[in-house]
Amino acid sequence: MLTQLNIEKLRIINQAEITFQPGFNLIVGNNGAGKTSLLEAVYLLSRGRSFRHRESGPLIQENHDSFQLVSRFIHDNHQQHILGMFRSRSDLVVKFDGKPAVKRSEILSSFPVVLIGAEPQQLLVGGPEYRRNFIDNGMFHVEHNYLKVLQQYNRALEQRNASLKKGSSELAIWNKPLQEAAHKIDAWRANYSKKLVTLVQEYLDLWSLQLTIDIAYSRGWSRDKSFSQSLSDVITTDRKQKFTSVGIHRADLAIRSVRTKSGKRLSRGQLKMLAAAFHFSQTQISISSGASVPVLLFDDLPAELDEVNRSKLLDSINDLYPQSLLTVLSQKDIPLDGKLATVFHVEHGDFTLAE
């Protein structure tokens, strides 16, 4: 659980010291006031990167050379930790409990966050890379060796692609490590996807959304062939295109049909509810696997949702996440129905605790 956050020179936020509480933490303010930048600061500390873009330059406040973030949080073992980040245009320094250069995986395990951004529908309607990344992020907290094996696959893929670009005849050297890693990743992803889809449907039923979904895991090569045979079948194409065209890097959680039971296509609000169901389901799987309970970051929760669906989301958040940070334009847009909430107002990057 996040207890305190200090921000200096991050985008519009010149300096802020914010103390958070368990349960709902509402960040209320107009567009451009700094609400999303607060969520971005928490995400940066956990993931080491922004959810907006890769470059550090736009993160740093204008006319300054760097930004700094410091958070205090309590882990599952009830021990308090301090996590800090200093970022200039050329340097990055991260310290965890005063120790520099810790592994990012250690931070992710100790201080996990779940982000549902302002465009959560991209998970469903965007390219396959959105869903691959989503599964990979979830698998990190479920399978201890997942990241290691995925890195092995990516290294072998990079070497095989380099050989293809050179026109080398030594592709077989990289086929074996590629295949070994691919089979492990594929088995883990397939099992994970089954659990995920089951839980998603449970949320849709709980919320009485009257949706029908047809989602299938696609592993990145033919179901009717081994990976070895698939690599052999596309060798001519791969040599011509100079990259590997089959493998787990082409996998997808293919959403073949999502409609209301009346047959109509989903609205953006319905897609948002479905995307939230995916995130909540992923959190359930992580927690059941022994991972730390994450902090939920939800940007502009009320947008495109009626009051009934807002209430349904808030009930599920209250049941699943001990702490959440929700940005809203107006507190009136959040039907708390007696639930306790800590409210912060933000204007031009300045945060004040509401009475």
Over residues 312-326, the pLDDT tens digits come to: 999 999 999 999 999
CA distance 157 to 154: 5
- pTM of the full predicted structure? 0.94
**CB of 153 closer than 8 Å to CB of 248:** yes
pLDDT at 220: 95
pLDDT at 295: 97
CB 124: neighbour CB atoms within 10 A?
19
Banded pLDDT at 264 (limits 50, 70, 90): low
pLDDT at 251: 96
pLDDT at 261: 53
Banded pLDDT at 165 (limits 50, 70, 90): very high
Banded pLDDT at 332 (limits 50, 70, 90): very high
The proportion of the chain whose per-residue pLDDT surpasses 70, expressed as a percent, equals: 97
- What's the rounded mean pLDDT across residues 244-267? 79
Long-range contacts for 212-216 (Cβ within 8 Å, ≥24 apart)?
212/257, 212/258, 212/259, 212/260, 212/261, 213/255, 213/257, 213/258, 213/274, 214/255, 214/256, 214/257, 214/258, 215/253, 215/254, 215/255, 215/256, 216/253, 216/254, 216/256
Summary mean pLDDT of the chain: 92
- What's the rounded mean pLDDT across residues 9-14? 95
pLDDT higher than 90, residue 34? yes
Banded pLDDT at 337 (limits 50, 70, 90): confident
pLDDT tens, position by position, 86-117: 999 889 999 999 988 678 888 988 999 999 99
pLDDT at 103: 81
Beta bridge partners, 346, equal 351
DSSP state of 60: B
| 254: nearest Cα among 172, 349, 132, 165 | 132
- What's the rounded mean pLDDT across residues 173-185? 94
For residue 129, give both structure tokens.
């890379």
Banded pLDDT at 259 (limits 50, 70, 90): low
pLDDT at 339: 82
Q: Buried b vs exposed e over 190-201: b needs ≥16 C-beta within 10 Å?
A: eebbebbbebbb
pLDDT at 340: 86
**Range ranked top by mean pLDDT from 216-220, 255-259, 267-271, 323-327:** 323-327
- What's the rounded mean pLDDT across residues 206-214? 85
pLDDT at 78: 81
pLDDT at 57: 76
pLDDT higher than 70, residue 58? yes
pLDDT at 254: 85
DSSP state of 125: H
pLDDT at 82: 95
CA distance 152 to 161: 14
The DSSP result for 297-318, as a single string, is EETTTTTT--HHHHHHHHHHHH
pLDDT at 245: 96
pLDDT at 104: 82
pLDDT higher than 80, residue 142? yes
CA distance 275 to 142: 20
- What's the rounded mean pLDDT across residues 33-38? 95
The full set of domains in the chain, from first to last, is 1-112+292-355 (3.40.50.300), 121-291 (1.20.1050.90)
pLDDT higher than 90, residue 3? yes
pLDDT higher than 90, residue 55? no
